[in-house]
């Protein structure tokens, strides 16, 4: 058995591989970073599968190098010896009288057991860890949860179980719905899990041992101490790719791995990114649906992990946790319920306080798709100009496109004035197909005066799209009780095949977005039956072998999920007086920024 070891280093008391016994007897291992002085301190905790001993610099150099090059402030105030991917740096928290606890989840890193991501067993383990931390001699009984991505997703999950010592959570860019956000988009299987799981999770499964990385601080294998054969490792973990293929609809498998947001009552700071095709939606859904009396939303841009480590993010986190874990006067009682970093096309952001989400002053606007001219316009389709007809649908016009081709693009006239679009969006499209099903990909784009695309740093992709929506036509059923005009809710619990040639309406959710469009620029929407790609020959940045051309790693290219004989037909888009196809967009009146609003460049220190 691994022994618990304690030492004082870099101004901290560090306890390595502390055992935490679960209710079924399995021992999880945690590293505990605390002040040298004896006392009772609030706890900042994370729990997940990325190996608590894996150095950020070694495990994720492709993220560490650009983060530190573009934002050198993240290197200040720390030796960076204890930096982990997507978790709090103890050297930035322990000096402020916090205890940082990092737990390797069951079956990962230094913790034995069956590896089964986001499972009920894993969530129960997190509950047990919170209660353990809240009752230690060095704890003041208040535990806060902090972390990005996986370490944010499972915050939503465990908070719904209401562990008594949980005092506050800050899920930073974390999904809350395993089906709609993590594994599927509008019913389409996302290949992310099949790429990410072997690269970032099973690579540090407990038992990789001597074949894996070593903790630079202890000299011990980050995924040990045992070194197990491949067949034993495979038998000790869930086969995520196979499980997703065997569950094409939103069933109990996904519900068990999704947060029951309405059961969350602790204070919440939900921080999300405008352009992450795994996490964006979850931050908004978590904020709006959590039952907490004390909840806040922060929205930012830039790279996936950037703002978590910058001064902007760190100050926000410390003000939040200082208030709820320490009872300090941090000014958090004056924090607006919503804080937006509104995107501008030059890469800067307008930091703006708001009182609600969506914004109460939103001017919900329909922009119609004119299949004759390719225009995107506020004018509804006028119908057949040749005269009246007894058949209303005879006035409709249509346009065909090959599902796996370039699709159709509809464009506004150049804007005469500055225009802001901030909020959730939706579309209603009338379509038919030559096959029994078709997938719809809707891409919002901003075009400069020369017709070129304006791109934005999109979490993992340095040149991403403005906004995105997806829907599989056979998943078109909506739940009227859960749907909102700007956010249709699809149960995704059954398939309704199309009758070839028959036109049906599709209500499509477009994930929340924000952009201020200058005069002379235009807004466009591209409708396709495949992932949108920015034009050009590249070279395109890659991640784990996936070329990123606007959507990062979040593509829908699994041939088993999208066989060409079904999803490679011809799709027809219909629009007319009785079957108008349109976007519903959140236009925000542009006024002089409030005194609290500031413009931030793409770099927090003001560099361009």
Q: What is the widest separation between alpha-carbon atoms in the chain?
A: 87
The answer to whether residues 484 and 584 touch, using CB atoms and an 8 Å cutoff, is: no
Indicate left, alpha or beta for 544 from its phi (over 0: left) and psi (-120 to 50: alpha): left
- Distance CA(79)–CA(59), nearest Å, equals 17
User: HSE on the CB side for 594, CA within 13 Å?
Assistant: 9
- Distance CA(608)–CA(596), nearest Å, equals 22
The owner of tokens 């004989």 is 565
The SS3 of residue 273 is strand
Of 195, 184, 348, the C-alpha closest to 277 is: 184
Cβ-based neighbours of 219, under 8 Å, separated by 6 or more? none
The SS3 of residue 126 is helix
For residue 565, the tally of other CB atoms under 10 A from its CB is: 8
The answer to whether residues 512 and 281 touch, using CB atoms and an 8 Å cutoff, is: yes
pLDDT tens-digit map of 410-465: 999 999 999 999 999 999 999 999 999 999 999 999 999 999 999 998 878 888 99
Instruction: Report residue 543's pLDDT band, with 50, 70 and 90 as the boundaries.
Output: confident
Q: Is residue 36's pLDDT more than 90?
A: yes
What pLDDT is recorded for position 385?
45
Instruction: Report residue 173's pLDDT band, with 50, 70 and 90 as the boundaries.
Output: very high
pLDDT tens-digit map of 149-166: 999 999 999 999 999 999
What pLDDT is recorded for position 1?
46
Instruction: Report residue 535's pLDDT band, with 50, 70 and 90 as the boundaries.
Output: confident
Outline where DSSP puts E strands in 434-548.
439-447, 453-454, 456-458, 461-464, 467-472, 504-517, 522-528, 542-543, 546-547
| Pairing status of strand 99-104 against strand 349-354 | unpaired
What pLDDT is recorded for position 538?
74
Q: In what helix (H) or strand (E) does residue 171 lie, and over which residues does it extend?
A: strand 166-172
- Distance CA(151)–CA(46), nearest Å, equals 6
Q: What are the CA-CA distances from residue 32 to residues 322, 371, 455, 533 (Å)?
A: 19, 61, 42, 45
Instruction: Report residue 552's pLDDT band, with 50, 70 and 90 as the boundaries.
Output: confident
Average pLDDT over residues 65-71: 93
Instruction: Report residue 549's pLDDT band, with 50, 70 and 90 as the boundaries.
Output: confident
β-pair partners for 473: none
Which DSSP symbol is given to 459? Answer: B
The answer to whether residues 262 and 236 touch, using CB atoms and an 8 Å cutoff, is: no
Cβ-based neighbours of 450, under 8 Å, separated by 6 or more? none
Instruction: Report residue 548's pLDDT band, with 50, 70 and 90 as the boundaries.
Output: confident
Average pLDDT over residues 23-31: 98
The answer to whether residues 28 and 18 touch, using CB atoms and an 8 Å cutoff, is: no
Average pLDDT over residues 395-407: 94
Instruction: Report residue 311's pLDDT band, with 50, 70 and 90 as the boundaries.
Output: very high
What pLDDT is recorded for position 459?
78
Of 36, 44, 249, 205, the C-alpha closest to 117 is: 205
pLDDT tens-digit map of 378-389: 999 886 544 444
Q: Is residue 392's pLDDT more than 60?
A: no
The SS3 of residue 283 is helix
β-pair partners for 238: none
What pLDDT is recorded for position 389?
42
In the chain, what percentage of residues exceed pLDDT 70?
95
In the chain, what percentage of residues exceed pLDDT 90?
88
What pLDDT is recorded for position 550?
87
The answer to whether residues 161 and 261 touch, using CB atoms and an 8 Å cutoff, is: no
Average pLDDT over residues 508-527: 98
pLDDT tens-digit map of 106-140: 999 999 999 999 999 999 999 999 999 999 999 99
Q: What are phi and psi of 180, to 5 degrees?
A: -75, -20
- Distance CA(548)–CA(555), nearest Å, equals 9
- Distance CA(260)–CA(389), nearest Å, equals 52
Q: In what helix (H) or strand (E) does residue 46 lie, and over which residues does it extend?
A: strand 41-48
| DSSP class per residue in 183-248 | IEETTEEPTHHHHHIIIIIGGGBTT-GGGS-B-TTT-SBTT-S----HHHHHHTB--HHHHHHH--
What pLDDT is recorded for position 393?
60
CATH no. of 363-588: 2.60.120.260
Which DSSP symbol is given to 427? Answer: E
Structural domain spans, the chain: 5-335, 363-588
Q: Is residue 304's pLDDT more than 80?
A: yes
From 42-51, 450-459, 468-477, 565-574, the region with the lowest mean pLDDT: 450-459
pLDDT tens-digit map of 95-105: 999 999 999 99
The owner of tokens 């919002």 is 444
Instruction: Report residue 596's pLDDT band, with 50, 70 and 90 as the boundaries.
Output: low
Of 200, 379, 188, 174, the C-alpha closest to 280 is: 174
Instruction: Report residue 537's pLDDT band, with 50, 70 and 90 as the boundaries.
Output: confident
- Distance CA(600)–CA(588), nearest Å, equals 20
Cβ-based neighbours of 474, under 8 Å, separated by 6 or more? 187, 436, 437, 495, 496, 497, 498
pLDDT tens-digit map of 191-229: 999 999 999 999 999 999 999 999 999 999 999 999 999
- Distance CA(53)–CA(16), nearest Å, equals 10
Cβ-based neighbours of 23, under 8 Å, separated by 6 or more? 124, 128
Question: Right CATH number for 5-335 from 3.40.50.1820, 3.20.20.80, 3.90.550.10, 3.40.605.10?
Answer: 3.40.50.1820
Q: What does the mean pLDDT of the chain come to?
A: 94
- Whether the upstream peptide bond of residue 120 has omega within 30° of 0, thus cis, is no
What pLDDT is recorded for position 3?
66
- Distance CA(478)–CA(495), nearest Å, equals 12
Average pLDDT over residues 478-489: 97
| Rg, C-alpha atoms of the chain | 25
What pLDDT is recorded for position 594?
56
Average pLDDT over residues 292-299: 98
What pLDDT is recorded for position 608?
28
């Amino acid at each position: 058995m691994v022994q618990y070891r304690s030492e004082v280093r870099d101004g901290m008391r560090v306890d390595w591989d502390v055992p935490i016994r679960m209710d079924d007897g399995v021992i999880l291992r945690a590293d505990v970073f605390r002040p040298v002085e004896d006392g009772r301190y609030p706890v900042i905790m994370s729990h997940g599968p990325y190996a608590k001993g894996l150095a950020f610099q070694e495990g994720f150099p492709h993220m560490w190098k650009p983060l530190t090059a573009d934002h050198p402030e993240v290197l200040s105030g720390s030796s960076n010896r204890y930096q982990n991917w997507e978790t709090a740096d103890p050297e930035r928290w322990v000096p402020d009288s916090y205890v940082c606890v990092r737990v390797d989840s069951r079956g990962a890193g230094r913790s034995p057991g069956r590896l089964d991501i986001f499972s009920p067993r894993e969530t129960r383990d997190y509950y047990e860890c919170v209660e353990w931390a809240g009752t230690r001699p060095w704890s003041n009984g208040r535990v806060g949860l902090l972390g990005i991505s996986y370490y944010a997703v499972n915050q939503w999950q465990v908070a719904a179980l209401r562990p008594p010592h949980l005092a506050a959570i800050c899920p930073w860019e974390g999904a809350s719905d395993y089906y709609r956000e993590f594994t599927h988009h509008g019913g389409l299987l996302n290949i992310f899990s099949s790429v990410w799981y072997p690269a970032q999770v099973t690579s540090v499964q407990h038992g990789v041992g001597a074949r894996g990385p070593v903790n630079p601080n202890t000299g011990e294998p980050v995924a040990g101490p045992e070194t197990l054969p491949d067949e034993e490792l495979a038998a000790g973990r869930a086969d995520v790719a196979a499980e997703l293929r065997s569950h094409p609809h939103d069933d109990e498998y996904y519900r068990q791995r999704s947060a029951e947001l309405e059961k969350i009552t602790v204070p919440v700071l939900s921080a999300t990114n405008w352009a992450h095709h795994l996490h964006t939606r979850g931050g908004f859904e978590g904020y709006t649906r959590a039952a907490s009396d004390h909840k806040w939303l922060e929205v930012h841009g830039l790279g996936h992990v950037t703002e978590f480590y910058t001064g902007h993010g760190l100050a926000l986190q410390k003000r939040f946790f200082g208030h709820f874990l320490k009872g300090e006067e941090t000014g958090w009682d004056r924090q607006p319920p919503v804080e937006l970093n509104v995107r501008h096309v030059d890469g800067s952001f307008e930091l703006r306080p708001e009182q609600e989400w969506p914004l109460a002053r939103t001017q919900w606007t329909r922009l119609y798709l004119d299949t004759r001219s390719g225009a995107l316009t506020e004018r509804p389709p006028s119908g057949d100009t040749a005269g009246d007809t007894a058949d209303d649908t005879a006035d409709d016009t249509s346009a065909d496109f090959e599902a796996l081709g370039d699709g159709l693009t509809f464009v506004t006239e150049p804007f005469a004035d500055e225009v802001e679009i901030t909020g959730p969006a939706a579309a209603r499209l009338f379509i038919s197909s030559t096959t029994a099903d078709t997938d719809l990909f809707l891409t919002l784009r901003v075009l400069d005066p020369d017709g070129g695309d304006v791109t934005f740093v999109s979490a993992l992709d340095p040149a991403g799209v403005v906004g995105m929506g997806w829907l599989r036509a056979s998943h078109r059923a909506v739940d009227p009780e859960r749907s909102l005009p700007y956010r249709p809710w699809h149960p995704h619990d059954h398939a309704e095949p199309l009758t070839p040639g028959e036109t049906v309406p599709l209500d499509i959710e477009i994930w929340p977005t924000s952009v201020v469009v200058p005069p002379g620029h235009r807004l466009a929407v591209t409708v396709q039956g495949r992932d949108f790609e920015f034009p050009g020959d590249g070279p395109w940045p890659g991640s784990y072998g996936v070329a990123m051309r606007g959507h990062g790693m979040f593509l829908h290219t699994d041939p088993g999920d999208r066989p060409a004989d079904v999803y490679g037909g011809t799709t027809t888009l219909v629009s007319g007086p009785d079957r108008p196809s349109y976007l519903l967009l959140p236009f925000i009146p542009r006024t002089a920024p409030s005194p609290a609003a500031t413009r931030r460049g793409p770099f927090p220190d003001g560099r361009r």
